[in-house]
Structure 1
Amino acid sequence: MSNQWKGYTTKLLHEGHRPEPVTGALTQPIYQTSTFVFSDADQGAARFGGTEEGYMYSRLGNPTVDTLAERIAVLENGEMGLAFGSGMAAISHVMMALVKSGDHIIASDALYGCSFALFQSILSERFGVNVSFVDTSSVDKVEAAVRPETTVLYLETPANPTMKLSDIQALSRLAKAKNIKVLVDNTFMSPYLQRPLELGADVVIHSATKYIGGHGDVVGGLAVGPKELMSKIKRSFLKDLGGVMGPFDAFLLLRGLKTLTLRVERHCSNAMEVAEFLKGHPAVDQVYYPGLSDFPQYNLAKKQMHGFGGTLSFVVKGGLEKGRAVMNSVRLCQLAVSLGDVHTLIQHPASMTHAVIPKEERLKVGITDGLVRLSVGIEDVNDIIEDLDQALSKHA
């Protein structure tokens, strides 16, 4: 498919998509197989020897999974994509390919709890990689943290759950001048709203479980970057560490991609209305959403994002006790972790997704006991607001 289409939704539906050549099936078939038969022994030897292209074993490659990887590369405007069994598998495989003992990583100080644990408890404590958690909203603070052995700058923007932004373009310029690779977790935005590679990043990572899947029925991860690096990960780290995606999961994610733009637009419009409602509610102290005009980095959000996303956080007056009471009082919103689902999900980061982070570290980056994260779904927005209003008013 030629790169002739200008509209992003058209590109999403058509580029990287081909009807199945034997039957003409429009929808990608599910190649639910563990292994592939060779025509003869010479072909098997040639494929394992790397002199002939083709499939051998689904841990080494699968047509359904490869189609998803091709599609995400198109949507992120990158050279090559890879699919993994989860978002954390994507992060860990890419990091293993880029760092070694003695190297130094700079990471956003406000990170998803499992990403923090990967860097702190595994890469740092077990494998000798030095990690500095830095306020990446400040280019000066990042520059001050750079060492001669710094190899990776890892950004989560918007940050989970504080929504703090990092200037991808400015930080990428800084990193390139110092030969540092920039990785961006783009889960909160999806490729529709933010494309970090176009802003200078080297690798973009997604928990495809979230907006890309969108229906709460699949776990997966995706990464897009330079062909040389992605090929190295596929033939070595993905093959030997084995964090692969299954073909049925890839099929579900391919299905989810077809409605990505429609869903995300609804998530965004709903989230904006919910954020404005929460901002005016007497039981709420603070609302963190990049689309609010008084958000500290509103201008940066408008510059590097094509929309403000469907996730926000807010602080309930009364701290942990009141926050828990509100979450226990919702009727429509679902008390569950994850985000990007068609359903509205509400959760408490300090005791759930970010519980692994020491309290003093959480408080430094604004993850207080009263902070509630809300992934706004695609229900009728008045129903979402009505549910939040009754839960908040009950405990105001």
Structure 2
Amino acid sequence: MQQSLADIEKGIYATATASGVAATLLVLNLLPQNSHIIAMQGVYGGTYRIFEKLIKETSGHQVDYIDLNNLQLVKQHLRNNTRLIWIESPTNPLLELVDISKICQLAKENNIITCVDNTFATAWNQKPLELGADIVMLSTSKYIGGHSDLIGGAAITNQSTIADKIDGIKTTIGAIASPFDAYLALRGLKTLDLRMTRQCANALTIAKFLNNHRNITKVYYPGLSDNPQYHICQTQMKTGGAVVTININGNRDNVKNIISKLQYFVLAESLGGVESMVNHSATMSHAAMTEDERVKMGIYNTTLRLSVGIEDINDLLNDLEKALNF
């Protein structure tokens, strides 16, 4: 399974882990004490929790969250102890993109490690190592497995020094993938192309449908031609992905009503499976943040993340239309 993950990411070395969080911790454990990290603003809530609630206290690391597409701003935040730039593209849940090749070039010029969380895109959609990243990490629980029945993660690199350190840390802290979960991930890889082709096509159709809906104030999907980052999507991704995020024109009660009326979109914390899922980011994926922190990121009580599955597109569109009729 490790070799297969390395192959599809165009890497040489892969380390399978017990979860995506475990893969994140392996990368962070590469850093010396009191390091400075630059992270993408809008980073996944679970990663934010690790940065803010764990490593600041245990390792003394400092983290700045900024727009990684603003290279001048990134340069202004560089310090003598900056050791890592953490890239998430697309981000969860607002699907913001980073021009990976540009930020990686800047990092190399300053001897800084770059790590890309490729969970949302997968190697099917983009290959960060080919764009200059030092490390790719991902949760294999999502699109790699594809059936919402495993927990796992991985870290992939082309550099033997990094790979040896990650592998050693994995063994030391016990972040080892279970054999059966590794088997399930390997099974999932066999249908990754089929699933992603269908899911991404469905997502684009849904994004276009919702983009003109009376009860939707905003659609986040980088594959839409009117998205401000569409040019980045066209350059480094095959498609806009299989997740669509929306803001509802209403209040918290409207959101609860919509979720209760959905039949094909199951309320779930996770994403990436063949079944469509809906996530209320404020109370689920980003619950570790305060409301002020979420609002600053652009995540509201009316924000819903749709993980689009492989169901018949007409069934999904009808489901959304009925639920959004208020």
Normalized against structure 2, the TM-score is what? 0.98
Q: What's the counterpart of residue 230 of structure 1?
A: 163
Any residues of structure 2 matched to 1:146-161 within 5 Å, and which?
146-161=78-93
Give 1:96's aligned amino acid.
N
Q: What's the counterpart of residue 380 of structure 1?
A: 312
Q: What's the counterpart of residue 136 of structure 2?
A: 204
Question: Equivalents in 1 of 2:40, 2:4: separation in Å?
Answer: 28
Where does structure 1 differ by over 3 angstroms across 4 or more consecutive aligned residues? none
Give 1:77's aligned amino acid.
K
Tell me whether 223-232 or 371-380 shows the greater mean CA deviation.
223-232
Q: What's the counterpart of residue 198 of structure 2?
A: 266
Q: What's the counterpart of residue 71 of structure 1?
A: 4
Question: Equivalents in 1 of 2:88, 2:290: separation in Å?
Answer: 19
Q: Which protein has greater RCO, CA pairs closer than 8 Å, 6+ apart?
A: 2
Query: Residue 240 of structure 1: CA displacement?
Result: 1.1
Query: Residue 354 of structure 1: CA displacement?
Result: 0.2
* 2:138 equivalent to 1:219: no
Deviations 1:163-201 (A, max 9, x none): 111110000011111111110000001101010000001
Partner SS, residue 87 of structure 2: strand
Q: How many residues align?
A: 325
Q: What's the counterpart of residue 368 of structure 1?
A: 300
Contact (CA 8 Å) 2:69, 2:103: kept in 1 or not? Answer: no
Give 1:75's aligned amino acid.
I
Contact (CA 8 Å) 1:113, 1:357: kept in 2 or not? Answer: yes
Contact (CA 8 Å) 1:138, 1:166: kept in 2 or not? Answer: no
Q: What's the counterpart of residue 290 of structure 2?
A: 358
* 2:29 equivalent to 1:96: yes
Partner SS, residue 141 of structure 1: helix
Q: What's the counterpart of residue 115 of structure 1?
A: 47
1:341 aligns with one of 266, 269, 273: 273
* 2:59 equivalent to 1:127: yes
In structure 1, list runs of 5 or more residues that go unmatched. 1-67
Contact (CA 8 Å) 1:190, 1:212: kept in 2 or not? Answer: yes
Question: Equivalents in 1 of 2:74, 2:120: separation in Å?
Answer: 22
Question: Equivalents in 1 of 2:171, 2:4: separation in Å?
Answer: 21
Give 1:352's aligned amino acid.
M
1:307 aligns with one of 228, 233, 239: 239
2:124 aligns with one of 189, 192, 213: 192
Q: What's the counterpart of residue 327 of structure 1?
A: 259
* 2:40 equivalent to 1:105: no
Query: Residue 93 of structure 1: CA displacement?
Result: 1.0
Contact (CA 8 Å) 1:324, 1:348: kept in 2 or not? Answer: no
Q: What's the counterpart of residue 81 of structure 1?
A: 14
Q: What's the counterpart of residue 224 of structure 2?
A: 292
Contact (CA 8 Å) 2:207, 2:221: kept in 1 or not? Answer: yes
Tell me whether 253-262 or 142-151 shows the greater mean CA deviation.
142-151
Give 2:294's aligned amino acid.
R
* 2:72 equivalent to 1:144: no
Tell me whether 294-303 or 364-373 shows the greater mean CA deviation.
364-373
Query: Residue 306 of structure 1: CA displacement?
Result: 1.3
In structure 2, list runs of 5 or more residues that go unmatched. none
Normalized against structure 1, the TM-score is what? 0.81
Tell me whether 323-332 or 256-265 shows the greater mean CA deviation.
323-332
* 2:110 equivalent to 1:178: yes
Question: Equivalents in 2 of 1:324, 1:182: separation in Å?
Answer: 39
Give 2:29's aligned amino acid.
M
Q: What's the counterpart of residue 392 of structure 1?
A: 324
Query: Residue 79 of structure 1: CA displacement?
Result: 1.8
* 2:249 equivalent to 1:317: yes
Query: Residue 148 of structure 1: CA displacement?
Result: 1.1
